[in-house]
Amino acid sequence: MMTSQDNAPTQENYARYPSLVDRVVLITGGATGIGASFVEHFVAQGARVGFLDIDTSAGLVLTDSLADSPGGPGQPPRHKPMFVTCDLTDIGALRAAVADVKAALGPIEVLVNNAANDRRHGLADITPESFDEGIAVNVRHQLFAAQAVMADMKAAGAGSIINLGSVSWMIKDRNLQVYLMSKSAVQGLTRGLAKELGAYGIRVNTLVPGWVMTDKQRRLWLNDEGRESIKRNQCIDAELLPADLARMALFLAADDSRMITSKDIVVDGGWV
């Protein structure tokens, strides 16, 4: 299989979006993996980024790595992101964290609902408690995060909500029943929000990843069988990287996509 390296978000061969400069962006689950790439790419576009995560250590490391800078030639100034430690399954804490970001950075115009946990489990091992926990981290917080930012977006007469889905339920993956159920529900949530909020100029879309090669995926689940599965199922024989998702999120957040809403945007190398 071909290999590829994650391209740095500063490289000049990728698009820049003037509409994202100084735009306030909130990202859930932004400390590691795909979420960290979202944070890095939006910061590189000159956005004012707030991100939430339960992993305090990783969140602080990422924040410290992205200091304020004037930007290079032809590049916008970069603003150090704001990190708030938050357990997104605690809706009161989520609402408080959103309020903190708004107070520090201003009205929120972009929401990226990224946080999730694809923990493996057998069907017989699911309990009511583990079920509720999976729903809470994988889909429930998306609804309440959208609820928490919609007043800002309504007042602005514009906004973009990007809900993270997954192809896993489309390809009938195994040992992920609660995750699959949650991620299929995300697409229903997107459609309902898009219809309700569209009258205010707010766009809502589902960004649907394939198997993204984060450090976690490589450490826990990528093996020879997995590599063969990618080669067999993807149309493009290359690793899908966090940056590939981040660049699509930039487009969906920018004014360039102003008439795209209620859509499933699949980035999976052609798996489905």
Residue 199, domain CATH = 3.40.50.720
Residue 272, in any domain of the structure:
no
CB 82 within 8 A of CB 49: yes
Residue 2, in any domain of the structure:
no
pLDDT given at position 4: 40
pLDDT given at position 221: 58
Side-chain half-sphere exposure of 60, counting CA atoms within 13 A: 4
Q: Average of pLDDT values for 150-157?
A: 98
Provide the number of structural domains found in the chain: 1
- Measured CA to CA, the distance from residue 272 to residue 162 in angstroms comes to 20
Q: How confident is the model at residue 11 (pLDDT cuts 50, 70, 90)?
A: low
For the cut 60, the answer to whether the pLDDT of residue 157 exceeds it is yes
At 45-67, the pLDDT tens digits run 999 999 999 999 999 999 999 98
- Measured CA to CA, the distance from residue 217 to residue 219 in angstroms comes to 5
* Residue of 14, 17, 179, 200 marked catalytic: 179
For the cut 60, the answer to whether the pLDDT of residue 122 exceeds it is yes
pLDDT given at position 222: 65
Residue 121, in any domain of the structure:
yes
Residue 207: domain span: 18-267
CB 193 within 8 A of CB 146: yes
Residue 12, in any domain of the structure:
no
**Helix (H), strand (E) at residue 51:** strand 48-53
For the cut 80, the answer to whether the pLDDT of residue 89 exceeds it is yes
Q: How confident is the model at residue 220 (pLDDT cuts 50, 70, 90)?
A: low
Residue 51's DSSP bridge partners are: 27, 83
Rg of the chain on CA atoms, in Å: 18
Residue 8, in any domain of the structure:
no
Q: Average of pLDDT values for 254-258?
A: 98
Residue 10, in any domain of the structure:
no
179 is catalytic: yes
- Measured CA to CA, the distance from residue 100 to residue 52 in angstroms comes to 11
Q: Average of pLDDT values for 130-145?
A: 96
Q: Average of pLDDT values for 100-109?
A: 98
